[in-house]
Amino acid sequence: MSKGSRTALKLAITSLLGVGLVAAFATTTPKPWTLTIIGIGLGCLSGHMRSRAIFAGVTARTANALGWLCCIGLMILAMAFAENMFVGAWAASFFGYLLVHRLYSLPASLRKERAAAGAVADGT
């Protein structure tokens, strides 16, 4: 897969996550403001950890584990505080988490791809 198509795929997935967030938030009544804000905050934390791992050149196992824990934690919070709108509240918070996580770590992954392509072109 070429560099341009990988970048286009990442941007397409990110835009689909944004559409999912808007759709889940718009169709849930009453609006799950608190859970969505918690999901966005956790996405910032996880995205920061992933971008730091990408810059350091190590695997992002901790960020992956945090992603799974955030998914489960947001589901438990949605079950506890939004029983009547559980699916919509969980979807809005989880799409918010995924969107911000992706947006936060996207520049680091693109920079790493450019650096890897430059190293191959230089022969190093």
Query: Residue 119's pLDDT is what?
Result: 59
Residue 78 · residue 35 · CB < 8 Å: yes
Rg of the chain on CA atoms, in Å: 17
The pLDDT tens digits for 21-52 are 999 999 998 899 999 999 999 999 989 988 88
Mean pLDDT of 65-89: 90
Mean pLDDT, rounded, of the chain: 86
Residue with tokens 């919070």, as numbered in its chain: 77
- Residue 8 predicted with pLDDT over 80: yes
